[in-house]
Structure formats: structure tokens, C-alpha cells
């Protein structure tokens, strides 16, 4: 038992902290401190900056261009990234399609797509959900029909985050409707500029445009964009569920949010308001500590070569619940100050000015990536044997 970081890890932290201090662009830092979301330009500048250091793909094995960090180093990096006020990186390229490609892709596919992800140049989106295939993903209907050297894709995807920013989509499509649902699904890479592909915005309750519908009408996708074999799509999708989840709980960003909220308590009107806010924050901090130590255990286990399997779903469930509770606390503690929606100048503390947008945005986090209820179904089956 040892709950301390090693001296090497402390040195690593110091060097990352220094780098963050010197390199996180001011406009991005200010944006995060306000509680706002980075726009495409900020997000991409930040990811390219990390890419230029070789840090964007920190979870990748060295042979595919990862920096060779341990899980503990990645965890420390994430802590320093969040406390420096820099946003998390977009998961679609780095955490999803990248690992799929270096695990299941052909040499040609790796050569073609991995460098763009590493450098933060190619933006990806995820074509999974459909209007009638949300939690029941395997029932998806978007069809890909083989036609010589290409597929013709027809159908519709929905809830596609950042489709309007993306250069490429990785997409689950049905290539065979005569076999068991799960066996007829394939994994395709689709260029977002292909004729017949149309992106329509969905505005979410935070007032912003993150989500989209994507329509496919006879979209031609070259056969070389099939990853693995036809019918392997479901296996690949499941692989992603257990791949590197040591930062899935969002502990570092929750710390940042709690600290932001702490800094605003002095602005509350009365002593009682302050005391109640302090008490509420302490409750959140205690719960965060339990989550964080569980997270440390998964990190330590990963470094020992025994990564957690489905147990890490617990981190996702507790982490997203806590993110929501912190965002709700921020709105409720802000009270009146949380009501203005689109004013430039806050009527009180700056942090409460965007708090309600963030609160609205985070209602999605217990839904995306497999709703918490679906995660619990999976855990009940895989771990509890029910």
C-alpha cells in the first residue's frame, strides 16, 4: 500500500504544470474559467498544440505514436490539464477510432488515418445512434450495400456530436439483414464531404449547437474504408466499451468545477447562504474523494497490467452523476445570479453567468456513451450474473 506518487511522478507533474502554465492559450483558459465551451477554433488549436508535443494520443501504445506514458502519468497529465483550465480533448478520433484502427485496421488504413489523429488535424465524429436505435443500438437500420468497389450508404444517424465540425465519421451500418442483428453490422469510415451526405443541426437545451442529424442518400464509400471484415462492427463497438477508461470519471474536471464554485462563495448575500453553500460543497467533495480513490485504484491496476474490465462502468456512472450534481449546485447556489441567459456582463459573480447553460448541457452526460441505465444492465449481466 502506498498512496503517494513517486518522485519521478512528482517531477513529471512539475514539468507538465510548467508547460501548461506557459502554453495554454489565454483565450481558452478564460473560456473554461467562465464555464463556457470552446468553439471549433479553440478546440482545434488546443488539440494541435498537444499533437505537436506528441501528447494528444497519450493513451496510444508507443509503436503507434503514443508517448509511452504509464496510466499514472496520463492521470497526472489530465489533472494538470484540467487545473490549468484547458478543455478535455474530443474523444472521437483519439479515444475511439484511433484504437479501433490500430487494433482492427489494415496497414493501409493505419498509415492513412492515424497521423491525422495524432497531430489533431483530422476531426472525427461518431455515427452510432439512430432515431430508432438509441439504447438499443443493435437495431440500427442505416444500410450499406456493396456495389463493386464501393458501398452505397442510405439511412439516418442522430445525436452526432460535432458532425458539423468533422472531416470524417466512423459509422456503424447494416451490411446484412439476413443474420442475427449484431452479426450484420459493419464499421465504415465515411468522408463528411461525400455527395449525398447532409448534416442538419440540433440545438440542445444549453442553447448551443453540438448535436446533429446526419442523412445519407446513396453516399458512396470506397470498400477500402471498411474496418475489419463485414459483420465485425458490433465486436469493434464492444471493444471500445472496455478500452482505456482511466479518465472516464472526469475527476480532474470535477475538481476544477468545485474549485470554481468555491471561489465564488464569498459573493453570496448572507452568512447563512455561505454556510449552506460550504456544507453542500463539502458533501460533493467527499463523494469526489470516494470516486477519485476508486479511480486511483483503476490507474494503479492498469499500470500493473491488470486493467479493470466492466467494473470501470461504475466510474462512468458515478462520475456523470457527480458532474450533474456539481453543475446543479452551481446554479442553485448562484440563485438569482444564475438566471441571466445571454448577457455579456454578469449581474454577480462571473461563474454563475454561464452556470445554467452548463447545467443544461450536462443533463446529457448520463445519456451519452451508453445511458447509465444501459451501463447498469451490462454490469448486472457481466459482473453480477443476473
Nearest to 352, CA basis, from 241, 287, 286, 266: 266
Catalytic residue list contains 213: no
Least separation, in Å, of the C-beta of 52 and other proteins? 30
Q: Is 299 within 8 Å of 313 (Cβ atoms)?
A: no
Catalytic residue among 121, 244, 311, 332: 244
Does position 11 interact with other proteins (CB under 8 A)? The reply is: no
The interface with other proteins within residues 157-196 (CB under 8 A) comprises: none
Rounded Cα–Cα distance for residues 250 and 108 (Å): 34
What is the length of the chain?
386
Helices (H), 131-250: 233-241
Give CA–CA dist 355/363, Å, rounded.
Answer: 13
Residue of the chain from 283, 336, 347, 368 that contacts other proteins (CB under 8 A): 283
User: Measured on CA atoms in the order 83, 363, 297, 241, is the torsion positive or negative?
Assistant: negative
Distance CA 290, CA 192 (A): 42
Among 278, 309, 341, 368, binds other proteins (CB under 8 A): 278
Q: Which is nearer to other proteins, 71 or 94 (CB)?
A: 71
What's the chain's Rg over C-alpha atoms? Answer: 22
Q: With respect to other proteins, which residue has the nearer C-beta, 176 or 287?
A: 287
373 binds other proteins (CB under 8 A): yes
Find out whether 366 and 298 touch, Cβ atoms under 8 Å: no
The nearer residue to other proteins, 3 or 108, going by C-beta atoms, is 3
**From 191, 244, 285, 332, residue interacting with other proteins (rule: CB under 8 A):** 285
Q: Does position 300 bind other proteins by CB under 8 A?
A: yes
As measured in angstroms, the least distance from the Cβ of 307 to other proteins is 14
The H or E element that residue 112 is part of is: helix 107-118
Among 49, 138, 199, 301, binds other proteins (CB under 8 A): 301
Residues binding other proteins: number (CB under 8 A): 36
Q: Is 5 in the site for other proteins (CB under 8 A)?
A: yes
- Point out which span in 79-87, 183-191, 297-305, 333-341 binds other proteins (CB under 8 A): 297-305
Q: Which residue has the cell 443541426?
A: 201
Q: Of the two residues 34 and 376, which places its CB atom closer to other proteins in the complex?
A: 376
User: What is the widest separation between alpha-carbon atoms in the chain?
Assistant: 73
Among 2, 63, 272, 343, indicate the residue that binds other proteins (CB under 8 A): 2
| Residue 96 makes contact with other proteins by CB under 8 A | no
Q: For residue 367, what are the contacts with CB-CB under 8 A and spacing of at least 6?
A: none
75 touches 247 (CB < 8 A)? yes
Instruction: Give the active site residues.
Output: 244
By CB under 8 A, name the binding residues for other proteins: 1-5, 72, 278-279, 282-283, 285-287, 289-291, 293-294, 296-297, 299-301, 311, 314, 317-318, 373, 376-377, 379-380, 383-386
Amino acid at each position: 500500500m502506498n498512496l503517494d506518487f513517486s518522485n519521478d511522478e512528482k517531477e513529471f507533474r512539475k514539468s507538465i504544470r510548467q508547460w501548461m502554465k506557459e502554453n495554454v492559450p489565454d483565450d481558452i483558459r478564460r473560456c473554461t474559467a467562465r464555464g463556457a465551451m470552446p468553439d471549433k477554433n479553440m478546440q482545434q488549436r488546443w488539440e494541435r498544440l498537444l499533437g505537436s508535443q506528441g501528447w494528444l494520443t497519450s493513451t496510444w501504445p508507443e509503436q503507434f505514436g503514443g508517448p509511452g506514458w504509464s496510466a499514472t502519468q496520463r492521470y497526472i497529465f489530465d489533472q494538470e490539464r484540467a487545473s490549468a483550465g484547458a478543455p478535455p480533448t474530443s474523444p472521437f478520433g483519439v479515444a475511439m477510432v484511433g484504437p479501433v484502427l490500430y487494433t482492427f485496421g489494415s496497414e493501409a488504413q493505419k498509415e492513412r488515418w492515424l497521423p491525422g489523429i495524432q497531430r489533431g488535424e483530422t476531426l472525427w465524429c461518431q455515427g452510432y445512434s439512430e432515431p430508432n436505435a438509441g439504447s438499443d443500438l443493435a437495431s440500427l437500420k442505416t444500410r450499406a450495400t456493396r456495389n463493386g468497389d464501393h458501398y452505397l450508404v442510405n439511412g439516418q444517424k442522430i445525436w452526432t456530436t460535432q458532425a458539423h465540425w468533422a472531416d470524417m465519421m466512423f459509422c456503424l451500418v447494416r451490411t446484412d439483414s439476413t443474420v442475427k442483428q449484431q452479426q450484420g453490422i459493419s464499421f465504415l469510415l465515411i468522408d463528411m464531404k461525400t455527395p449525398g451526405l447532409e448534416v442538419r443541426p440540433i440545438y440542445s437545451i444549453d442553447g448551443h449547437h453540438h448535436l446533429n442529424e446526419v442523412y445519407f442518400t446513396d453516399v458512396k464509400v470506397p470498400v477500402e474504408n471498411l474496418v475489419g471484415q463485414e459483420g465485425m462492427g458490433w465486436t469493434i463497438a464492444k471493444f471500445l466499451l472496455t478500452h482505456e477508461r482511466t479518465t472516464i470519471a472526469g475527476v480532474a474536471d470535477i475538481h476544477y468545477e468545485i474549485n470554481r464554485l468555491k471561489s465564488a462563495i464569498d459573493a453570496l448575500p448572507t452568512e447563512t447562504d455561505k454556510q449552506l453553500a460550504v456544507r453542500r460543497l463539502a458533501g460533493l467533495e467527499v463523494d469526489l474523494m470516494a470516486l477519485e480513490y476508486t479511480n486511483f485504484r483503476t490507474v494503479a491496476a492498469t499500470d500493473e497490467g491488470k486493467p479493470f474490465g466492466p467494473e470501470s462502468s461504475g466510474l462512468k456512472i458515478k462520475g456523470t452523476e457527480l458532474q450533474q450534481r456539481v453543475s446543479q449546485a452551481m446554479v442553485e447556489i448562484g440563485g438569482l445570479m444564475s438566471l441571466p441567459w445571454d448577457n455579456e456582463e454578469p449581474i454577480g459573480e462571473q461563474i454563475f453567468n454561464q452556470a445554467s447553460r452548463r447545467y443544461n448541457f450536462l443533463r446529457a452526460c448520463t445519456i451519452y456513451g451508453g445511458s447509465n441505465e444501459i451501463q447498469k444492465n451490462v454490469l448486472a449481466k457481466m459482473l453480477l450474473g443476473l
